[in-house]
Chain A
Amino acid sequence: MNRMRLSGLIRKEFLQIVRDPSAIAIAVVLPFVLLLLFGYGISLDARRVPLALVAPNSPQAQQLLGGFYRSQYFMPRRYATMSAARNALARRRVDGIVWLRSDFGRRILGRGDAGIGVFVNGVDANNATLISAYIRGVWSNWLAQEARDRGAAIAVPVEVEPRIWFNAALRSRNYLVPGLIAIIMTLIGALLTAQVVSREWERGTMEALMATPVSMGDILVSKLVPYFVLGMAGLALSVAMAEWLFSVPLRGSMLLLFTASGLYMLVALGMGLLISTVAKNQFVSATIAVVATFLPAFILSGFIFDLDSMPFPIRLMTHLVAARYFVAILQTVFGAGDVWPVVLANAAGLCIMAVFFLGLSWRLSRKRLD
């Protein structure tokens, strides 16, 4: 390797990025827009759920219903009859129904065997589970209040005190935004780099490069350096937005975050280079990059779907997805802090993949014209 030739090549790559508006668009505008979109668009926290209430006007019923009006999770609407409420649920005007029969007050005071019917629209199963949990919360608050008012006769035997560590308010943004950084760096690393070698082949400039005294290693390194810089810039932008725009707490150290991200960037670049070297055609390499890197990073990385809940064969498959290790590091460093056992185990996975992908693309690229 010759220092001067290498720096010349790197300069050429930088110029190519700066002069091509579409590369700048992917590297700078895309992360910005994606982070805004994902950050604001993806939220699993149900708020102000439209809820139908069908209930008599007895004071006992009103006391229970008051809990729904006070809760930040619900936007209650009264319906006179159950059939009107059913109709509203079928037309998606409300997501659930709470139904108290007309003898609710009498039964509470009498034998204490009143029933509260709850119907939720189960189409969005996750949302339905969360809504049921919120309704159960209102119900148990009401029970506790009743117990205080009427003495221990109706006290609940065991009360659970949940302690949610790292994210007491259960803001889904706190785990989605760190995961997003993995998605964005995958896009910059793999999608952009997937084009750079195949572009040289397609435009015929690869032959020109080969006629010069630079080695194949020089060419690969010169392709890596500018995109590495670009990726780290995208990372800095993402971290800044996570901190200041979405106020996601960063509990671990900045140094560890950037080191781990640099490592992942190498893996992403390695995957991009490998695709680019093998495909030699821009359209095919873009398609492979999306299918083989972006989609798995989205679905199989633990970014949004829980890995432990996947069927065993799919869970095995996720070990081949580099983003999986990075998402685990990101969620831990942001959410919990520098937990070394988690960080080191996943960093080891990233190291192996970086060596594998970079080594393989170096082996496969030869100065040959076939």
Chain B
Amino acid sequence: MGTKILALAVKEFLALMRNKVARMTLFVPPLVQLIIFGYAATFNIRDISYAVYNQDSGAASRELLAHFSGSPYFRQKAVLTSDRQIAPEIDNRHVLLVIHIGPRFSSDLLAHRPARVQVIIDGRNSNTAALANNYVSEATEAFNRDWARTHGWGQPPAQLFIRSWFNPDLLSRWFIVPGIVGLLTLVVTLLTTGLSVARERESGTFDQLLVTPLGPFDILIGKSIPGLVIGMAEATLIMVAAVFWFDVPFTGSLLALYLGLFLFVVSGIGIGLMISSLAVTQQQGALGVFLFMVPAVILSGFATPIANMPGVVRYVTYFDPLRYFLVVLRGTFLEGDGVGVLASQYAALAVLAFVSMVLASWLFRHRGS
């Protein structure tokens, strides 16, 4: 039996790899996407463009502004001389924020009275606005510390020391790139298996396959093997690129990573074969892959946290294999996780893999041609 399944697996490989375009679509776009998205998909903001409207002539305001112009996060673009100039600067997207210092700023500070600074931020992109606001408070806090020390103000009774674990510089690339590994592995696995049964149907070889001595389950295994091999190989390639090109640290155990990868690829194959068994034509197969993939990516926590989703949507994410694999990826890359900590993720992936394979073989037998 084993040799027959192997023969089928070899045939599937040939069907996939003999076509030059198919070969290209399997290997070139994923790597190009990794490179482009790895650079483009960042939540870190730099070079926040700002304008200054300073009505104060004292040294204190210049000192405060020096904290902004000296920071790598900020880039000054304009100096305003009247109130009316603020709105156009923001509306036309010339600057992200305007720092407005009132005329009594220096005299207030020298008289030991708290001074206020108004910061107007373009809120069209609320995430950028929130991050910019955070950098503004950091710069002001640094100024406050200096000023309090040199001008005899009392220190605040408690200081805040914020440290971030696993990603000390808070580079969002370290978060996104392992995510892209999961995303691209899912795409490749689904594309290789999602069209395989439909291709047989379209070219009429499906019936021939059914009259061979192979049982339906053998056929499914034979169709799974290329997906498994290509999925694992491609994931390895992308992970090597993530570590050596993007310098994302790998701190956990390789065994833990590959156990997760194996279970994830198998559940992806199960889902791909389910789609493929349902589809009559390759186009429907491609459409089905697309219809599954888009929500699977959005609901996986790839770019936005699952914790922020409303209750009902959060329950839907439990059916998404990518959700668990992303935890495995980020855990093993950044948090130094071993097999033990990730046990619950493996359990969920194993259940999904088992159910999807059983469903796929049921659909395969009952949907005929």
Interface set of A (CB-CB < 8 Å, partner B): 22, 26, 30, 33-34, 37-38, 40-49, 64, 89-92, 95, 104, 107-108, 112-130, 132-133, 135-136, 139-140, 143, 146, 152-168, 170-172, 174-175, 195, 282-284, 286-287, 290-291, 295, 299-300, 302, 304-306, 308-311, 314, 317-318, 328, 331-332, 335-336, 339, 341-342
B308: chain A residues at CB < 8 Å are 43-47
CA distance A309 to B153 in the complex (A): 37
Contact A305 B298 (CB under 8 A): no
**25 A-B Cβ contacts within 8 A?**
A26-B287, A30-B291, A37-B299, A44-B126, A117-B163, A122-B165, A123-B330, A123-B335, A125-B43, A125-B172, A143-B157, A143-B158, A153-B154, A154-B156, A154-B157, A158-B140, A160-B119, A161-B118, A170-B126, A175-B126, A300-B40, A305-B43, A306-B125, A309-B45, A341-B91
The reply on B294 being an interface residue by CB < 8 A is yes
Contact B118 A170 (CB under 8 A): no
The reply on B39 being an interface residue by CB < 8 A is yes
Q: Which of B39, B299, B334 contacts A314 (CB 8 A)?
A: B39
CA distance A305 to B227 in the complex (A): 32
The reply on B52 being an interface residue by CB < 8 A is no
B304: chain A residues at CB < 8 Å are 41-44
Output the nearest chain A residue to B112 by Cβ-Cβ distance: A152
Q: A42-B304, A122-B170 are in contact. Are A164 and B114 (CB under 8 A)?
A: no
Q: Which of B115, B305, B307 contacts A158 (CB 8 A)?
A: B115
Contact B42 A167 (CB under 8 A): no
CA distance A22 to B165 in the complex (A): 48
Interface size class of B (residues with CB under 8 A): 35 or more
Distance of B320 from chain A, by nearest CB (Å): 11
Contact B121 A118 (CB under 8 A): no
The reply on B236 being an interface residue by CB < 8 A is no
- Residue with the highest number of chain B CB atoms closer than 10 Å, among A44, A143, A164, A317: A164
Q: A119-B164, A158-B115 are in contact. Are A146 and B157 (CB under 8 A)?
A: yes
Contact B92 A116 (CB under 8 A): no
CA distance A167 to B163 in the complex (A): 29
CA distance A64 to B159 in the complex (A): 12
9 other A-B residue contacts (CB within 8 Å) besides A122-B165, A286-B283: A115-B158, A116-B159, A126-B172, A157-B143, A158-B115, A167-B126, A286-B286, A299-B37, A306-B45
CA distance A34 to B171 in the complex (A): 29
- Residue with the highest number of chain A CB atoms closer than 10 Å, among B33, B163, B334: B163
Output the nearest chain B residue to A64 by Cβ-Cβ distance: B158
Contact B124 A175 (CB under 8 A): yes
The reply on B162 being an interface residue by CB < 8 A is yes
CA distance A104 to B159 in the complex (A): 11
Contact B40 A305 (CB under 8 A): yes
Contact A108 B148 (CB under 8 A): no
Distance of A20 from chain B, by nearest CB (Å): 11
Q: A170-B129, A335-B124 are in contact. Are A160 and B283 (CB under 8 A)?
A: no
Contact A122 B166 (CB under 8 A): yes
Contact A306 B40 (CB under 8 A): no
Q: Which of A64, A117, A174 contacts B161 (CB 8 A)?
A: A117
CA distance A118 to B162 in the complex (A): 5
A154: chain B residues at CB < 8 Å are 154-157
CA distance A179 to B118 in the complex (A): 29
CA distance A41 to B301 in the complex (A): 9
Contact A291 B313 (CB under 8 A): no
A115: chain B residues at CB < 8 Å are 158-159, 161
Contact A331 B133 (CB under 8 A): no
Q: B244-302: which residues lie under 8 A (CB-CB) from chain A?
A: 282-284, 286-287, 290-291, 294-295, 298-299
Contact A123 B161 (CB under 8 A): no
Which secondary structure dominates where chain B touches chain A?
mixed
Output the nearest chain B residue to A310 by Cβ-Cβ distance: B40
CA distance A332 to B282 in the complex (A): 41
A314: chain B residues at CB < 8 Å are 36, 39-40
Contact A42 B298 (CB under 8 A): yes
Contact A44 B114 (CB under 8 A): no
Q: A299-B41, A304-B303 are in contact. Are A283 and B160 (CB under 8 A)?
A: no
B133: chain A residues at CB < 8 Å are 133, 162, 164
The reply on B12 being an interface residue by CB < 8 A is no
Q: Which of A92, A143, A165, A299 contacts B122 (CB 8 A)?
A: A165
Contact B29 A291 (CB under 8 A): yes
Q: B299-330: which residues lie under 8 A (CB-CB) from chain A?
A: 299, 303-305, 307-310, 313, 327, 330
The reply on B1 being an interface residue by CB < 8 A is no
B125: chain A residues at CB < 8 Å are 175, 302, 306, 331
A46: chain B residues at CB < 8 Å are 305, 307-308
CA distance A118 to B122 in the complex (A): 29
Distance of A41 from chain B, by nearest CB (Å): 5
Contact B134 A133 (CB under 8 A): yes
Q: A44-B126, A127-B305, A153-B154 are in contact. Are A283 and B159 (CB under 8 A)?
A: no
CA distance A311 to B35 in the complex (A): 12
CA distance A335 to B127 in the complex (A): 14
Output the nearest chain A residue to B337 by Cβ-Cβ distance: A90
Distance of B348 from chain A, by nearest CB (Å): 14
Contact B167 A128 (CB under 8 A): yes
CA distance A309 to B173 in the complex (A): 12
- Residue with the highest number of chain A CB atoms closer than 10 Å, among B148, B168, B175: B175
CA distance A61 to B89 in the complex (A): 44
Contact B123 A167 (CB under 8 A): yes
The reply on B341 being an interface residue by CB < 8 A is yes
CA distance A140 to B159 in the complex (A): 10
Q: A115-B158, A157-B144, A170-B129 are in contact. Are A123 and B119 (CB under 8 A)?
A: no
B126: chain A residues at CB < 8 Å are 44-45, 164, 167, 170-172, 174-175
Contact A287 B165 (CB under 8 A): no
